[in-house]
Amino acid sequence: MVAAARVLALVVLLTGCGTPAGPAAPPRTAQTGNPFEAVALRAHPLSRIVREDNYPVRLEAHVEFFDRWGHTVKALGELRFELSGVGVNRRPEPGRASADPVRWDTLDIRSPESSSRAYDPATGTYWVRLALPGGVVLGGSPVLTVVYTDLSGRRLSSSIELE
């Protein structure tokens, strides 16, 4: 009798009877129902201004998204880039700062295909190359600001000072 009870307990233990089929599903988020949606972003330290002979000066921006657990994820939406702390070769108007930010509305990652094309799996970032317009004068430490708008209209932003 005792042996039969032990065998039955062992069978229950090994087959997992009475337990869920796998780990509990992570909680869904209010925005999309996707537990792995991007909830934060970072203008990544790999971002930089590139100056090369025979090429226009350009901004190489790296953007990294994180889910609620702090893991990197892909995202769907649009990215806007702004570079401040740069000057433009022109005469400043009275009462107006001489250095206007340079803005780009460039990265459309609203579809899974466009998001995957812009994603660099080696760095876990979206890597974007943006030409600086003619007449931009770099000085000091420019600041890159990235603004992301997801498909529901929610916005996230991050800034980083470039070297």
pLDDT of residue 92 exceeding 90: no
Tokens of 149: 């708008």
Q: Is 104 a member of any domain?
A: yes
- Say what the pLDDT of residue 53 is: 77
Domains identified in the chain, total number: 1
Tokens of 84: 């401040």
Q: Is 20 a member of any domain?
A: no
Q: Is 7 a member of any domain?
A: no
Who wins on pLDDT, 136 or 158?
A: 158
Report the CATH number at residue 39.
Answer: 2.60.40
Distance CA 59, CA 49 (A): 5
Q: Is 16 a member of any domain?
A: no
Binned at pLDDT 50, 70 and 90, residue 54 comes out as: confident
pLDDT of residue 145 exceeding 90: yes
Q: Lowest mean pLDDT of 46-60, 61-75, 149-163, name the range.
A: 46-60
- Say what the pLDDT of residue 153 is: 93
Q: Is 23 a member of any domain?
A: no
Q: Is 14 a member of any domain?
A: no
- Say what the pLDDT of residue 71 is: 94
Who wins on pLDDT, 46 or 29?
A: 46
Task: State pTM to two decimals.
Answer: 0.71
Q: Is 28 a member of any domain?
A: no
Q: Is 116 a member of any domain?
A: yes
Task: State mean pLDDT over 16-28.
Answer: 44
In which domain, by residue range, is 86 found? 34-91+99-161
